């Protein structure tokens, strides 16, 4: 019996759409935009230590904007008050992470020193797949539901490599 997980499908579709949008923006977009020094403008809001909270008229917190040494970040909260998503700046660029309704991180898109990284996890926050950029190419890792590696595909300037692992993480099959 096939069970549909519409929430995960929505998250994955959104993440893929964001990734495609970022790639197209990089290819066809204009010059980067940087924050402007604002001087004494009346529309400036200083983010206080501990963050700036956004609430509904009935007092429910729905978002928080904060700042740290790397820049700004925004947390989005669900109706239960749990963090559902983060967007922010880190030393290598930016990140987006998405939590399930239990507050566990199940998807993320990050900037890393060699480029970009995308990962998804099961509802217990165990990694089940990841796409990474390495120094010479790309890497796709697929894990079992316990987070143990099942397949590792890599490509570099010379060729590609596929490894398939058993439960003990011994290579069962490899190519080339």
Residue 79 in contact with residue 62, Cβ under 8 Å? no
* Mean of pLDDT over the chain: 83
The string of pLDDT tens digits covering residues 119-158 is 999 999 999 999 999 888 999 999 998 889 999 999 988 8
The string of pLDDT tens digits covering residues 41-55 is 677 888 899 999 999
The string of pLDDT tens digits covering residues 67-94 is 989 899 999 999 999 999 999 998 888 9
Give, in order, the Cα–Cα distances in Å from 64 to each of 60, 73, 85, 90, 162: 12, 8, 11, 17, 43
Instruction: Return phi, psi of residue 15, to 5°.
Output: -65, -40
């Amino acid at each position: 019996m096939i069970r549909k997980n519409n929430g995960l499908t929505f998250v994955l579709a959104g993440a893929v759409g964001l990734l495609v949008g970022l790639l197209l923006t990089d290819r066809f977009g204009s010059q980067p935009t940087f924050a402007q020094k604002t001087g004494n403008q009346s529309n400036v809001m200083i983010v206080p230590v501990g963050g700036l909270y956004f609430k509904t008229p009935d007092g429910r917190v729905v978002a928080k904007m904060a700042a740290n040494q790397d820049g700004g970040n925004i947390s989005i909260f669900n109706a239960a008050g749990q963090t559902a998503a983060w967007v922010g700046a880190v030393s290598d660029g930016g990140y987006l992470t998405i939590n399930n309704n239990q507050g566990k991180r199940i998807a993320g898109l990050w900037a890393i020193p060699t480029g970009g990284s995308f990962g998804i996890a099961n509802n217990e926050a165990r990694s089940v797949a990841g796409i990474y950029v390495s120094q010479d190419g790309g890497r796709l890792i697929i894990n079992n539901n316990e987070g143990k590696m099942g397949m590792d595909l890599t490509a570099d300037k010379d060729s590609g490599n596929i490894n398939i692992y058993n439960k003990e993480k011994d290579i069962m099959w490899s190519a080339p």
